[in-house]
Amino acid sequence: MPRWHPAILLALASLQLACTLLLLASEQGGRARRFLAALFTSEEDGPFDYSHPVDVYTNLSAGLESMGGKSMRDPVFLSPCPVVSPLLVGPISVQLSGPVNLSIISRRNPWVLLGGRHSPPRCRARHSCAVVIPHRNRELHLALLLYHLHPILQRQQLHYAIYIIQQAGNQTFNRAKLMNVGFKEAMRDEEWDCIFFHDVDLIPENDRNLYVCADGPKHMAAAMDKFGYKVLLAGMKISRPSIRLGRYKMIKHKHDAGNAANPNRFTMLAQTRRIWRLEGMNTLNYRRLSREQLPLYTNITVDIGPSEKAPARRLHG
Which residues neighbour 163 within 8 Å (Cβ) at sequence distance 6 or greater? 116, 130, 131, 132, 133, 182, 185, 186, 297, 298, 300
Specify the 3-state DSSP secondary structure of 161. Answer: strand
207 makes contact with ligand UDP (CB under 6 A): no
- Cα angle at 211 between 184 and 44, to 5 degrees? 160
136 makes contact with ligand UDP (CB under 6 A): yes
Is residue 9 within a helix (H) or strand (E), and if so which, with residue range? helix 6-25
**How many angstroms separate the CA atoms of 178 and 302, rounded?**
8
172 makes contact with ligand UDP (CB under 6 A): no
Nearer Cβ to ligand UDP (199/205) = 199
The CB-of-142 to ligand UDP minimum distance in angstroms stands at: 8
Choose among ligand UDP, Mn ion, none what residue 91 binds, the Cβ cut-off being 5 to 8 Å by kind: none
Can you tell me which of 138, 177, 208, 247 binds ligand UDP, judged by CB under 6 A? 138
Instruction: State which amino acid sits at residue 142.
Output: L
The CB-of-131 to Mn ion minimum distance in angstroms stands at: 17
Nearer Cβ to Mn ion (201/205) = 201
158 makes contact with ligand UDP (CB under 6 A): no
207 makes contact with Mn ion (CB under 5 A): no
* Among 130, 53, 58, 129, CA closest to 96: 53
The DSSP letter of residue 46 is -
Specify the 3-state DSSP secondary structure of 37. Answer: helix
Contact pattern for ligand UDP over residues 240 through 259, marking x by CB under 6 A: ----------------x--x
The CB-of-317 to ligand UDP minimum distance in angstroms stands at: 40
Nearer Cβ to ligand UDP (3/254) = 254
201 makes contact with Mn ion (CB under 5 A): yes
β-pairing, 298-303 with 159-167?
parallel
The CB-of-19 to ligand UDP minimum distance in angstroms stands at: 47
Instruction: State which amino acid sits at residue 234.
Output: A
Q: Which residues bind Mn ion (CB under 5 A)?
A: 201
